[in-house]
């Protein structure tokens, strides 16, 4: 699995720093435990200590077969009479790495900056758990939240799905499945999402050896999560293949310029717009895959973040 690449990219100081620290935290070997330990250490590097600006509580969403661990971030103070609006955050990590701690660099701040509850989902990971385990856990959490969210002071009519990378895949897949039901989310926000098992579009060719995520990496992650390639045609894994997007929620999609996945987000945004879904597309100029963790340090990522905040606020009106 590739970690960094010395291609001829003109990277900003912030992107060079991201590549450097990703190399510092590279795994000792290719065992999944080593990969996860390195990823966790890298995430911790970008996560500030909690400062008491939001309430944080770990909870469990019940399920007969597979209860799901979640983390609930709530604004300080009295909840509105209808409960807090809520962002369901689904973390990235190639369906293989990441947990409730890995994306606290963003989840805490979404709670504070939007003044909404944020529910982070600790879905089952590959290779121990293959497709559709991760998807099913996200679906269980969402459906439980729609039915029982009031128990946690959450307004069940005001839920936005948000995810980055593989988490963007899961969020988009869930929104696809929620079409033409009474339970559709009121918004969808995706950051450099992986949306199909096809790696032949222009961005995959142009950025096949991009730093931090190569096409080889993408194959590695996808095969670990979905070893049966027939599953790559399933809309729960490849939401890009959906023919009907007529009942998708208002959407925000951001991509990184130097990322083999950038066409996934761009094409999906175009298709949503063609289906008359209110959709904002943001191209992060000069950004690499994974750059969201520089939200406090990189002006372009901060700009992306502010656009996402603005879009989510519109979704929750």
85 contacts 316 by C-beta, under 8 angstroms: yes
Helical residues (DSSP H) of the chain, grouped into ranges: 13-24, 32-45, 104-114, 133-148, 166-177, 202-206, 215-225, 262-274, 299-315
Give me 182's structure tokens: 């009474």
Choosing from 137, 217, 259, 263, the catalytic residue is 259
Q: CA-to-CA distance for 11 and 31, rounded, in angstroms?
A: 30
Given the residues 217, 264, 289, 291, select the one marked as catalytic: 289
Catalytic (active site) residue 64: no
What radius of gyration, in Å, describes the C-alpha atoms of the chain? 18
Choose, from 12, 165, 196, 251, the residue flagged as catalytic. Answer: 165
Question: Active site includes 165?
Answer: yes
Are the C-beta atoms of 248 and 239 separated by less than 8 Å?
Answer: no
Place of tokens 């300080």: 76
DSSP 69-80: EEEEEEESSPPP
* Residue 148 is a catalytic residue: no
Pick from 270, 297, 293, 295: nearest CA to 281: 270
Could you list the active site residues? 165, 259, 289
């Amino acid at each position: 699995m590739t970690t960094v690449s010395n291609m001829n990219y003109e990277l900003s100081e912030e992107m060079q720093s991201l590549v450097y620290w990703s190399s510092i935290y590279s795994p000792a070997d290719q065992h999944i435990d080593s990969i996860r330990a390195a990823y966790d250490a890298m995430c911790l590097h970008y996560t500030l200590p909690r400062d008491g600006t939001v309430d944080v509580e770990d909870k469990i969403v019940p399920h007969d077969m597979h209860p799901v661990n979640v983390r609930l971030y709530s604004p300080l103070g009295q909840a509105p009479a209808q409960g807090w609006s809520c962002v369901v955050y689904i973390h990235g990590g190639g369906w293989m790495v990441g947990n409730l701690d890995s994306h606290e660099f963003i989840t805490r701040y979404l709670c504070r900056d939007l003044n909404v509850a944020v529910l982070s989902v600790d879905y089952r990971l590959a290779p121990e758990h293959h497709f559709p385990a991760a998807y099913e856990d996200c679906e269980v959490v969402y459906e439980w939240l729609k039915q029982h969210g009031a128990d946690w002071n959450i307004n069940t009519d005001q839920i936005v799905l948000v995810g980055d990378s593989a988490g963007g895949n899961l969020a988009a897949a869930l929104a696809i499945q929620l079409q033409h039901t009474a339970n559709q989310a009121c918004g969808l926000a995706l950051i450099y999402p992986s949306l199909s098992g096809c790696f032949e579009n222009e961005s995959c060719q142009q950025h096949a050896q991009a730093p931090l995520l190569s096409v080889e990496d993408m194959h590695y992650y996808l095969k670990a999560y979905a070893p049966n390639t027939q599953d790559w045609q399933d809309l729960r894994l490849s939401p890009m293949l959906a023919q009907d997007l007529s009942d998708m929620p208002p959407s925000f999609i951001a991509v990184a310029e130097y990322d083999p996945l950038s066409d996934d987000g761009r094409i999906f945004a175009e298709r949503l717009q063609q289906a008359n879904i209110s959709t904002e597309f943001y191209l992060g100029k000069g950004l690499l895959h994974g750059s969201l963790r520089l939200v406090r340090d990189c002006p372009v990522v901060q700009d992306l973040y502010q656009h996402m905040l603005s879009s989510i606020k519109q979704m929750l009106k």
